[in-house]
Chain A
Amino acid sequence: MVRVWNLFFPNVTPRAFTVLLRHKEVFLKMWKTSLIPPFLDPLFYLVGIGYGLGAMVQEVGGFSYVQFFAPALIASVIMTAPFFECAIGGYVRMYYQKTWDAMIATPLSIEDVITGEILYGAMRALLQGVSILIVISLFGLVKSPLALLIPVVCVFGGFMFGCLAISYISWIPNINYVDYLFTLIMTPMFVFAGTFFPISRLPEWAQTVAWFMPLYHVVLICRSLVTGIIHPEIWGSVIWILVVGAIAFAIALRLLRWRVVK
Chain B
Amino acid sequence: MSPIIRGQNVVKKYGDFTAVNNVSFDIESGSLFGFLGPNGAGKTTIMKMIYCFVTVTSGRLTVDGKDVMQNPRGVKEILGVVPQEDNLDPDLTTYENLLTYARYYGIPKRIVARRAEELLDFVSLDKKDDSPVEELSGGMKRRLTLARGLINEPRILILDEPTTGLDPQARHLVWQKMRELKRRGITILLTTHYMEEAAYLCDELVLIDHGEFIARGNPDDLIKELPGESVVELHDVRNEDKAKIESRLNDYENECFGDTIYVYADSSRKVMDNLNGFTFARVIERKTNLEDLFLRLTGRSLRD
B-contacting residues of A (Cβ < 8 Å)? 15, 18-19, 21-22, 25-26, 29, 97-99, 101-109, 261-262
Do most interface residues of chain B lie in helix, strand or loop, or is the interface mixed? Answer: loop
Cross-chain contact B92 with A98 (CB below 8 angstroms): no
The verdict on B106 contacting chain A, using a C-beta distance below 8 Å, is yes
Q: Number of residues in B with C-beta < 8 Å to the partner?
A: 28
Task: Indicate if the CB atoms of A262 and B90 lie closer than 8 Å.
Answer: no
What are 16 A-B contacts defined by CB distance under 8 Å?
A18-B104, A25-B96, A25-B100, A26-B91, A29-B91, A98-B87, A99-B89, A101-B83, A102-B88, A102-B89, A105-B51, A105-B83, A106-B101, A106-B105, A107-B76, A107-B104
Please measure, in the bound complex, the distance between the C-alpha atom of A103 and the C-alpha atom of B168, giving whole angstroms: 30
Shortest distance in angstroms between A12's beta carbon and chain B's nearest beta carbon? 12
Interface-central residue, A26, A101, A102, by most chain B CB under 10 Å: A102
Q: In the complex, what residues of A have CB within 8 A of residue B14's CB?
A: 262
Give residues in B with beta carbon < 8 Å to A. Answer: 14, 51-55, 72-73, 76-77, 79, 81, 83, 85, 87-92, 96, 100-101, 103-106, 152
Known pairs A29-B91, A97-B87, A99-B89; A261 contacts B76 (CB<8 A): no
Q: At the interface, is chain A mostly helix, strand, loop or mixed?
A: helix
A35 → chain B, closest Cβ, in Å?
16
CA distance A22 to B51 in the complex (A): 22
List chain A residues, Cβ under 8 A from B77: 107
Choice from A15, A19, A29, A104 contacting B53 with Cβ under 8 Å: A104
Residues in B with CB closer than 8 Å to A108 are 104
Residue from B85, B96, B106 within 8 A of A15 (CB atoms): B106
On chain A, the residues within 8 Å of B73 by CB distance are: 107, 109
For A98, the chain B residues whose CB sits under 8 A away are 85, 87
> What is the CA–CA distance of A196 and B83 in the complex, to the nearest angstrom?
50
Residues in B with CB closer than 8 Å to A107 are 73, 76-77, 104-106
